[in-house]
Amino acid sequence: MPLSAHTRTRLAWSLVLLVLAAWVAWAWAPRPRELPVARIERGPLLVTVLDQGVTRARELYAIAAPVTGTLERIELEPGDPVQAGQVLVRLRPAGSAPLDPRARAQAEAAVEAAAALEVEARARLDAATDQLRRIRTLFEQGLVAEGELTAADAAHRQALAARNAAQARLREARAALAWEHNGENGGLELRAPVAGVLLKRWQESEGPVAAGTPLLELADLADLEVVGDFLSQDAVGIRPGAGATVENWGGEPLPGRVERVEPLGELKVSALGVEEQRVRVRIALDEVPEGLGHGYQVDARVTVLALEEVPRIPLEALVRDADGWRAWQLREGRAWPVPVEVGPSDGSWRQVISGLSADDLVVRFPPGDLEPGQRVRPQEN
């Protein structure tokens, strides 16, 4: 039976009201909150500590007057290169004083002492050479860590420098003895013990000098190391052989290795007046660039932990409260707070130990008014 006009009108208005109610419900329904999200991913995690340091020549050679006499003018300037055996300083007798038997005896004793030290230095160098050869063989067989090879190489270089210095002292002692024998007719030449660069010139003009007066200081700038002062709580995690990077020296970062962590901490006051316990960490550079000198300020970054392929979460997705760390996980379009156990951080990521898995979505920079179960839509970049 056909519907009456009145019935059709009522049905039409009912349909309009239903559509209007649906539109109002849709308009006033809560919208999904648009927030930035990130995905838990697996990747490397490199934990480092950073502090200031200075470059330092491994061996500094101080040239001093071995006897009292008259110094001839020194023409060398700081920064000049010198060759091993090059004459650096010339001394003349101060006057026609009679030969002193006591001074001659002292010079002879100095030669004997210098000769004994030179023999000892040669023996130490031989032992260091044998040790380095043995450690290198074991390292090539995979039986020792790289840190042991680094330490053995450093010990060998130090023994070599000590041998060179002992030989230079022996030559000076013999020259001083010849000075005492020759009297006013003799002269004394002081030669460079190694090839390097002149760093300091304490005496320049001609004039009398007493025995023991410092004259010059030189070093081999191709053999630089970096000495960093690290907080003691950071130094605890640093091990010999650990990777290191030298930054902010005036060029590209320089790779290196930790050579030694000194066992003694020193109390120092920071620029803010805070007392801190600092520990010296010596870093060997893989390559010394041109232009880098002794005593230059740098930043030293040392690796204390290297993890590979671990679950990691961005730091901005973590929230710390009284119960520990938590993150807001996105599941089926809704955000839920999840307690998370985390590990070390590299400054951008933190290791996830439990609570979340790889490929889980989490909210980055979660706002303080975010409610559990609230609808969230990933924000487009």
Q: Who wins on pLDDT, 12 or 138?
A: 138
Q: Is the pLDDT of residue 113 over 90?
A: no
Q: Is the pLDDT of residue 80 over 70?
A: yes
Query: Which of 353, 378, 226 lies closest to 302, judged by CA?
Result: 226
Structure confidence at residue 96 (pLDDT)? 47
Structure confidence at residue 173 (pLDDT)? 75
Rounded to two decimals, the pTM is: 0.65
Give tens-digit pLDDT for 282-295: 999 989 998 899 99
Q: Who wins on pLDDT, 300 or 211?
A: 300
The span from the CA of 320 to the CA of 343, in Å, is 14
Residue 279 pLDDT level (bands cut at 50, 70, 90): very high
Percent of the chain with pLDDT over 70: 86
Look at residue 324 and give its three-state secondary structure.
Answer: strand
Give tens-digit pLDDT for 192-244: 888 899 999 998 888 888 878 899 999 989 889 999 999 999 999 999 889 99
Task: Report in angstroms the alpha-carbon separations of 258 from 213, 241, 277, 303.
Answer: 36, 5, 20, 9
Tokens of residue 53, six digits: 């340091």
Supply the angle between the helices 146-182 and 101-140 in degrees, to the nearest 10: 160
Amino acid letter for position 88: L
Domain architecture of the chain: domains with CATH = 33-44+308-378 (2.40.420.20), 48-55+222-307 (2.40.30.170), 59-219 (2.40.50.100)
- Report the b/e string of 285-317 with b at 16+ CB within 10 A: beebeeebebebebbbbbbbeeeeebbbbbeeb
Confirm if 94 and 69 have CB atoms less than 8 A apart: yes
Within 10 A of 271 (CB to CB), how many other CB atoms are there?
Answer: 5
Mean pLDDT over the full length of the chain: 84
DSSP 109-178: HHHHHHHHHHHHHHHHHHHHHHHHHHHHHHHHTT-S-HHHHHHHHHHHHHHHHHHHHHHHHHHHHHHHHH
Within 10 A of 373 (CB to CB), how many other CB atoms are there?
Answer: 10
Residue 99 pLDDT level (bands cut at 50, 70, 90): low
Largest pairwise CA distance in the chain? 152
Q: Specify the DSSP element, H or E, that contains 187.
A: none
- 95's CB contacts (< 8 A; 6+ apart) are 184
Structure confidence at residue 31 (pLDDT)? 66
Give tens-digit pLDDT for 32-77: 788 899 999 999 999 999 999 999 998 888 888 887 788 889 989 9
Residue 315 pLDDT level (bands cut at 50, 70, 90): very high
Give the residue carrying structure tokens 């290795």: 257
Q: Is the pLDDT of residue 1 over 60?
A: no
Structure confidence at residue 70 (pLDDT)? 85
Q: Using the 8-state DSSP alphabet, how is residue 44 labeled?
A: E
Give the residue carrying structure tokens 């995905």: 39
- Report the b/e string of 120-144 with b at 16+ CB within 10 A: ebeebbeebeebbeebeeebeeeeb
* Dihedral angle over CA of 347, 278, 291, 75, nearest 10: 170
